[in-house]
Structure 1
Amino acid sequence: MKGSRRHHPWRHARDHHPAIEIITNCRLPDEEAGFWDGGGRIFLDRDLTQRSRRSALAHECAHVERGIVPVDAVLEAREERAVDIIAARRLITVELLIDALRWCRGVTGVELADEVWTDQHALNVRLASLTPAERAQITAALADCDWVH
């Protein structure tokens, strides 16, 4: 990655949330990669891949930073979306995305998620939440690629 460091969720948790214990040896309900208990613990499912653990931990750290949301379905959905975007932006910078798109020749599937070292959900969120300026930056950076039409 040119000129920038890849986000390290474990280091981020250590540096910004030293009182939070991260528990990785538990089995969570289906479809749940991780959760923050609202206090001093983040739980990550024991069966996650390393890139899924990175994505889940980044997501849960964003929850810690934003705090507890009142129990309300609409507010919870909005909060999950906001936290997804925060985590995806931390994990996948525009520079990293450009480098990965070059490597993957613009294909945005599993290979691209592997290349940016996240799960598919984080990649999908990042791609869906690109700003117009980021889209323009990506378009300009990839203009010289022979596979861009």
Structure 2
Amino acid sequence: MTRFNPWHYLRAHHPHLKVDFVDLGRIGCVGRWTHSGIQLDRTCNQRERRVGLTHELCHVESGPMPLDARTAIFEERAIELRTAQLLITVEQLAPALIENDQRIDDNTAEALWVTLPVLKTRLERLTPEEHAYIQQRIASTN
């Protein structure tokens, strides 16, 4: 199974969007979607850039954030989940967990080319079917 590549997705589905690498450290985020395109923090490593770009592409596709703060929180959670689902399929997650002794840590996240918060989001919001699939794969290795 191939990994989701946000750079390929960007070129194929949003070729009009420009990606700039800027200093976002002052505002404490990895990326943001602006009227001129997507900005990613220049100090990010490759995993953070992959996550940041995917996250911002999800924002682009869902449209502007709601003005209501409560609704915006729900929207952001939905974007976080969509990002995690795109970047980590259940077919990739199961072997990564097995290879890393089921640890939920940065080593497992690195094996999946994501950040630890993305890995945690994916695990916290598995569907019952995904959870059963992972448990079955783990049980078959014991």
Structure 2 residue aligned with 1:94:
90
- Flag as ranges the 4+ runs of structure 1 deviating above 4 A: none
Structure 2 residue aligned with 1:36:
33
Percent identical pairs in the alignment equals 38
Deviation for aligned residue 1:66: 0.3
Give per-residue Cα distances to partners, 1:90-124, cap 9 Å, x unaligned: 00000110111121011111111001000111111
Deviation for aligned residue 1:145: 2.9
Tell me, in whole angstroms, the C-alpha distance in 1 between the residues paired with 2:133 and 2:36.
39
Structure 2 residue aligned with 1:50:
46
Report if the CA contact (8 A) 1:104-1:112 is conserved.
Answer: yes
Structure 2 residue aligned with 1:60:
56
TM-score w.r.t. length of structure 1: 0.91
For 2:63, give the aligned amino acid.
G
Give per-residue Cα distances to partners, 1:55-85, cap 9 Å, x unaligned: 0100000000000023221111111100011
Tell me, in whole angstroms, the C-alpha distance in 1 between the residues paired with 2:44 and 2:27.
12
Report if the CA contact (8 A) 1:23-1:42 is conserved.
Answer: yes
Tell me, in whole angstroms, the C-alpha distance in 2 between the residues paired with 1:145 and 1:111.
20
Structure 2 residue aligned with 1:7:
4
Tell me, in whole angstroms, the C-alpha distance in 2 between the residues paired with 1:96 and 1:137.
11
1:129 paired with 2:125, answer yes
For 1:121, give the aligned amino acid.
P
**How do residues 107-118 of structure 1 correspond to structure 2 at under 5 angstroms?**
107-118=103-114
Gaps of 5+ in 2: none
Between Structure 1 and Structure 2, which shows a larger proportion of helix residues? 2
1:27 paired with 2:16, answer no
Report if the CA contact (8 A) 1:19-1:40 is conserved.
Answer: no
Deviation for aligned residue 1:7: 0.5
Gaps of 5+ in 1: none
The 3-state SS of whatever aligns with 1:31 is coil
CA root-mean-square deviation: 1.1
